[in-house]
Amino acid sequence: MFDRFKEEDGGEMTQERKDLNTEESVGTTTPESSSQIGIGELMGKRAKLEEAIDYVGLMIKNLRDKRTLLEKDIEDESVDIKNLKEKLQKVSQYIDEENKGIQELASKRQQVENEADEVGSIINSLREKLSGVDRVIDDEGSRIKRIKESRDSINE
């Protein structure tokens, strides 16, 4: 990251320092006085600091861009989550309605079952009554048969 600010042989900063020293030598009439005062080194340091400030500014800009992207991503996720929450609420509402419908169906089935039990009771009651009628008819048939037999035996 800060590789370009490292001072290595043959590196950028070494090359820049050589360039600055060459410019100072060419630009000034007394190269010894500038090196004694150290203005060339000071200018080199200032250049390094300016580069470092520019680099930090670029890092800040990149961080802002990343933060902006993160904010956008978070907002997108928030919208997606809200949409999912709404869908889940609708599903929950549907499930509640279906459960209510199932309860109503269970109640109706219970009513039908009760009516079926009543019909079964009525059928058993009618069956008993029919059995009673059948017994009366059989009894009467037997009496008539006996009477007829007794008449036939008297007539003979």
Question: pLDDT, tens digit, for every residue of 120-138?
Answer: 999 999 999 999 999 999 9
Closest CA to 43 of 57, 58, 25: 25
Q: Are 21 and 41 in contact (CB under 8 A)?
A: no
> Can you give the pTM of this predicted structure?
0.45
pLDDT of residue 155: 72
Number of residues assigned to the chain: 156
Cα-based angle 11, 16, 18 (whole degrees, multiple of 5): 100
Q: Which residues of the chain have pLDDT under 70?
A: 1-36, 156
Closest CA to 21 of 42, 6, 50: 42
State the Cα–Cα distance between residues 105 and 111, nearest whole angstrom: 10
pLDDT of residue 1: 44
